[in-house]
Amino acid sequence: MVLTVWAATDASGIERLRTKLFDIADHAPGTVGVAFVSDRDTVTVNNGARYPMMSVFKLHQALAVADALERNGSSFDSVLNIKASSLDRETWSPMLKTVGDNDFNISIGKLVDYALTASDNNASNILFDRIVNPAQTDAFIRRIAPDTTFSIA
């Protein structure tokens, strides 16, 4: 969808913007949230809704994995043995195209790469199972960003 944004330099411009954003959100399928921040004002639409993080959590996971590796004296070059039977064949996983139906060895760095750049769910699940679980990831993010308003669970 294309939205033409005009310079909202006065209260009436901000109100026109607010009205247009609410109109778009009201007619879109699902719950749409918008935050428009300028040096003069902030306009939010459905700001109180709780939205799923979707794959955005994988960035937080990668940061927590890096922290855990550093604290444990390990590295991204550390290799894990993965059993093919432990992989979910019904989820998004470009890694499966590479490994097929075989057990395999893979570095933690390559798993993080799959999770971040290909949004691979199996890679993310392995990292949660073997390196840092969702609760540990959430706790790590809260240590570095204490005013976080989301949770990883």
Q: Could you give the angle at which helices 57-72 and 134-144 cross, rounded to 10 degrees? A: 90
d(CA 122, CA 94): 9
d(CA 125, CA 37): 35
Q: Give residues with Cβ within 8 angstroms of 118, minimum separation 6.
A: 94, 95
What are 37's strand-pairing partners? 42
Q: Could you give the angle at which helices 108-117 and 57-72 cross, rounded to 10 degrees? A: 170
pLDDT of residue 10: 65
pLDDT of residue 9: 55
In tens digits, the chain (153 residues) has pLDDT values of 445 454 555 677 778 888 888 898 899 888 888 888 877 778 888 888 877 778 899 999 999 999 999 999 999 999 999 999 999 999 999 999 999 999 999 999 999 999 999 999 999 999 999 999 999 999 999 999 988 788 898
Sequence spans of domains, the chain = 11-45, 54-144
- Pairing of the two strands 79-82 and 104-107: antiparallel
Both tokens of residue 71?
């604290």
Out of 38, 55, 107, 119, the active site residue is 55
To the query of whether residue 55 is one of the catalytic residues in this protein, the response is yes
pLDDT of residue 2: 44
Global confidence as pTM: 0.73
Are the CB atoms for 124 and 91 separated by under 8 Å?
no
- DSSP state for residue 29 in the 8-state scheme: S
Residue for token digits 């109109």?
23
